[in-house]
Amino acid sequence: MAERIPPEERLTNLVVALMATEIGLTKQQILESVSGYRQKQSAGARADALEKMFERDKDDLRALGIPIETIGDQADPHDLREARYRIPKAEYDLPVDIEFTAAELAVLRLAGSVWSEGSLSDEAQAGVRKIRALGIDVDEPIIGFAPRIAAREAGFAPLQDAIERSLVVTFDYLKPGEERARRRRVSPLALVEYEARWHVFGVDLDAQGERMFLLTRIIGDVTVTTESFPAALREGAGERALAGLEEVAARNTALLEVTPGTEAALRLGRRAEPATQGIRLHYVDLHILADELASYGPEVRVVEPAALRDEVISRLRAVLAAHDDRGAA
C-alpha cells in the first residue's frame, strides 16, 4: 500500500519544490517528483485525478497569498500544455525597505528557529534531489521563506483526504439549539470557505440529501471509513455549494444600527449596504451572526429581524450573568 501523505504536507512539499528552481517545473515533473503526488501516481492514480488535485492545490496556495507563476511557451505564451510553474522569491520575500524593532526581530528569530533545515521533511528533501536529477538547477538555500499558515479546524485534513479518495465519513455534529451532538454519516463532496468559515458540502446518507456542515460545529474527530461513493458526485460540487450559500445569504438580511467610528462600524461596514436606518447586512447563519454582533457589545443594535435581536440579547445576558456569578463568589 502506498504511503499516505497528509494534504498539508503535500502543499508544503509543493511550495518547497516551486521555490527551489528559478526556471520552474512542468506539471509532469511535479507529479513525478513531489511527495504527495508521487505516491499516488505510483499507486496507479488516474492522470486526470492527479491533475485536478494539482489544480486545487495551486488554488489553495494562491488563496494563502503564495504567488505561483505560470510560464507558458515563449513562442506562444497562451500555450500552457508544457507550462512551467514556480514561486518567484522576489515576489514572496519581504520588501527591502521594511524595518523591525529589536523586540520584533527577537520574535521573528524565535519563529525562524521552528522553521529550519532540520524541520524540512525527508520527503521534501528527496523531492528537491529528484528535481536536481532532472538536470534542473536548484537555488540555494531553499529554506528561509516564511510560510503563511491559516488556522483550520481539526476536521479539515481528514475531510479533504476523504474527498480526494471518495470515502464516506462519520462525525458528531451539534446544531444550534440542540443539547447533544448527533452522529452524521456523510459522503463529503467539497470543502468551501465562505465569510472566513469553512464548510463541508456533501450527501447526508441518513437524511438522503445534500447538506452543508460548518466545521466549527463538528464535535470530536472526523472518522474516514472504508465505504466509498462515486467520484463523479464531486464534479461541480464546490460551485453548487457556494451558489447555495450565496442564495441563503441573499434571502437573509439584518438591519443594524452601528455606532460610527467603532470596530463594529469598521468590520461590518466592509460587507454591508447603507440603509435609511443604519446598515443592511446579508448573512447565512443567524446564530453565527448573533455571536459576532454580541461581541461588539453596545456598538451595534439589531433593528430586525426580531429572532436575531433575541439571540444577541440572550448572549449578552449570559455574559452579564457569568460576571455577576463571579462577583458574588
pLDDT tens digits for range 21-38: 777 888 888 888 888 888
Query: Do 14 and 123 share a domain, yes or no?
Result: yes
In the chain the first and final C-alpha atoms are separated, in Å, by 59
Report how many domains make up the chain. 3
In a domain, 271, yes or no: yes
For residues 25 and 30, give the distance between their C-alpha atoms in angstroms, rounded to a whole number. Answer: 6
Query: Do 303 and 220 share a domain, yes or no?
Result: no
Query: Do 111 and 227 share a domain, yes or no?
Result: no
Spatial neighbors of 163 by CB under 8 A, at least 6 apart, are 188, 189, 190, 191, 234
* Residues 243 and 237: beta-carbon distance below 8 Å: no
Query: Do 78 and 167 share a domain, yes or no?
Result: no
Ramachandran category for residue 193: left, alpha or beta (phi over 0 → left; psi -120 to 50 → alpha): beta
Query: Do 162 and 261 share a domain, yes or no?
Result: no
In a domain, 150, yes or no: no
Query: Do 202 and 99 share a domain, yes or no?
Result: no
Chain position carrying cell 528559478? 22
For residues 32 and 8, give the distance between their C-alpha atoms in angstroms, rounded to a whole number. Answer: 18
Query: Do 51 and 119 share a domain, yes or no?
Result: yes
Query: Do 12 and 106 share a domain, yes or no?
Result: yes
In a domain, 142, yes or no: no
pLDDT tens track, the chain, 329 positions: 445 677 777 888 888 888 877 778 888 888 888 888 888 888 888 888 888 888 888 888 887 778 888 887 555 555 566 788 888 766 665 555 666 666 666 665 555 544 444 444 455 555 555 555 444 444 443 333 444 434 457 788 899 889 989 999 999 999 887 889 999 999 999 988 887 788 999 999 998 899 999 998 999 999 999 999 999 998 888 888 989 999 999 999 999 999 988 888 888 888 889 988 899 999 999 998 998 899 888 999 999 999 999 999 998 998 888 776 655 55
In a domain, 139, yes or no: no
In a domain, 147, yes or no: no
In a domain, 219, yes or no: yes
Instruction: List the beta bridge partners of residue 213.
Output: 200
Q: Which domain holds residue 97?
A: 7-133
In a domain, 242, yes or no: no
